[in-house]
Chain A
Amino acid sequence: MLLPSDFPIFENVEMSAISSTYALVRKDIQSELRTRYALNALLMFVVTSVATILFALRSDQPTSTVLSGMYWVVVFFTAMSSLSRIFVSEEERGTTMTLQLVASPSVVYFGKLMFNTVLTLSLTLAVTVLYMIVFSAFFKIETVSIFIITVILGSLGFASAATIIAAIVAKANTRGTLYPVLSFPILIVLLITVMNATAKSLDGEPLSAAMGDFQVLVGYILAMTGGSYLLFEYVWKD
C-alpha cells in the first residue's frame, strides 16, 4: 500500500520545476519497481513476439529490411501494451487529483515523458539483446553508430508521441483497444524513418547516409514534444 508520505514530492510543494520533475520520475520508478507490472508484461511480450517471428521464419534467411521491420514491429506493439499504464494507473488508483494539486501540468508531462523514455529505452535494449541471441547469424549491426543513434532517437520519439496519447486515452472509456488505434497514425512517420535507418545500419552504410533520417527524427521529436507540452494542460485538467 502506497501512502502519500512515501513520496518526497508531497512533502515540499515549494520545489523547483526540475527537482519536482525528478521527484515524479523517482516516484514512478519506485512504484514500478515495487509491482514490476509494466516491466514483466513488457519482457513477456517481447519474448512472445520474437518467438512468434522465429516460428514464422523457420529456417528462412531474413533480409535486413525484414529484420529491421520486425524489430520495430515488436517495439511498437510492446510499447502499445505498456506505455499507456503511466496515466491509466493514476486514474485507476485515483491519484490523478492529488497529482493535479501538487504538481504543475508541465512538471507532470515532462516527468511522465522521462519515465516513458526510460521504459522505451529498456524495451529496445531487451529486443536488441534478444535479437542478437536468436538471429545471431543474420542480425549483424555493421554500422554501430547509426544503430545507437536510431534507437535513442526512436525511443525518444516513441515516448513523446505515446505520452500525450496515453494522457488522452486515460480519460476515455475503452482504453486498451483505443491506445494502438490512436497512436499508429501519429507514429507512422517515425516507424517508416526508424525502419529505414535500421536497415541502413544492418547493410553497413556509412553514418552520413542516415543523416536525412536523423533530421526527420529530431524534427519529429521537437514538434511532438512542443505540441504535447502546449496541449497537455487541456487534457490533464478536468
Chain B
Amino acid sequence: MNAAKYGSIILITIVLIAALAIPLSPSPQSWLEFPVIPALEQKARNIFFHVPVAWTTVVAFLVGTYYGYRYLKTKNIDYDLKSVSAAGLGLLFCFLATITGALWAKFNWGSFWNWDPRQTSIFVLLLIYGAYFALRSAVDTEEKRATLSAVYSIIAGITVPFFIFVMPRIMGGLHPGAKGDPQGAGPVVQFTMSSNMLVVFLMGLLGFTLLFIWLLNLRVRTARLEYEHSIQQS
C-alpha cells in the first residue's frame, strides 16, 4: 500500500504544481508551455482535476458494485466492508466532480447547472449513493443490510450504461461527447491534447486512482476494526 500512498502524493503534487503554474502561450515553443485553447483559455486547467475526479467516481462505483457481487457469492462480511468503504469514497469523489464541473460550467457555459446529459448523470449518481446509504441505515441486521445494499448497487449499476451510452445521444448538451458535438456522439470523448498536457492529464488520472486505492485501504482497515469492536461489545 505504500506504493499507492507515496505514488498518489507525488503524482498529485506534481499535477497540482504543473496544472496551475505552467504558463499558457499561443504558440508553445518549449515543454513548459501549454497551448491556448480557444474559449477555454485559463479555465482549461480544470481538466487536470475535474476529469480525474469524475473518472475516480466511476472507478469507485465499479469497485463497490464488484465487492457487492463478491459478497452475494461468498457471504463473507469482509466484502461488504470493502463495498461500503468504496461507496463512501465514491460519494466523496462524486461531490468533488459535481463541484468542479459546476464551477467550470458557470465560467464556460454561463450557469452552474443546466441539465446537460453529463450533469444529469452525475446528479443521478449522487441520488444512487444517497439512496444506497438511506437503505443501509434502514436495515438492522448485518447480513440483511449487506445483501440488500449489494443487490441495490448492482441494480443501480445496470442503469449506468444507459447514462454513459444512451442519454448523451438522445439529449443535446454542451459537454464534450453530447449529441451535436462535431466529434460525434460517443461515450469516449476524443481528446486532441498537446503532448505535454496529455502527460499531466494522465498523471492526474493515475494519481487520483492511486489516491482512491490508498484511501480505500485505510477505510477498509478502520471498518474492520469497528466491525470487530461491535462484535466484541455485543
Task: Please list the residues of chain A having a beta carbon within 8 angstroms of any beta carbon in chain B.
Answer: 161, 164-165, 168, 171-174, 178, 181-182, 184-186, 188-189, 192-193, 196, 212-213, 216, 219-220, 223-224, 227-228, 231, 234-235, 238
Contact = CB atoms under 8 A, between A and B. Distances in A.
Contacts of A192: 120, 167, 170-171
Nearest to B145: A172
Contacts, number: 88
25 contacts: A171-B144, A172-B138, A174-B138, A178-B138, A181-B134, A182-B134, A182-B152, A184-B127, A185-B128, A185-B156, A186-B155, A188-B127, A192-B167, A192-B171, A212-B170, A219-B162, A224-B155, A224-B158, A227-B158, A228-B155, A231-B72, A231-B155, A234-B72, A235-B151, A238-B144
Contact of A178 (B134, B155, B158): B134
Nearest to B140: A173
B188 interface: no
Nearest to B75: A234
A44 to B, nearest CB: 27
Contact of A220 (B72, B147, B150, B162): B162
A196 B170 contact: yes
Given A173-B140, A188-B124, A227-B158, A178 B151 contact: no
A185 B159 contact: yes
Contact of B139 (A165, A171, A189): A171
Contacts of B139: 171-173
A235 B143 CA distance: 11
A231 B135 CA distance: 17
A96 to B, nearest CB: 13
B59 interface: no
Given A212-B170, A223-B158, 17 more contacts: A164-B151, A164-B155, A168-B152, A178-B135, A181-B134, A184-B131, A185-B159, A189-B162, A189-B167, A192-B170, A213-B170, A216-B166, A219-B162, A231-B72, A234-B72, A234-B150, A234-B151
Contact of B159 (A168, A171, A189, A196): A189
Contacts of A184: 127, 131
A218 to B, nearest CB: 12
The main secondary structure of chain B at its interface with chain A is helix
B24 interface: no
A80 to B, nearest CB: 13
B145 to A, nearest CB: 9
A231 B151 contact: yes
Contacts of A234: 72, 147, 150-151
B147 A182 contact: no
Interface in B115-172: 120, 124, 127-128, 130-131, 134-135, 138-140, 144, 147-148, 150-152, 154-156, 158-159, 161-163, 166-167, 169-171
Given A182-B134, A189-B163, A168 B148 contact: yes
A181 B162 CA distance: 20
A119 to B, nearest CB: 20
Contacts of A178: 134-135, 138
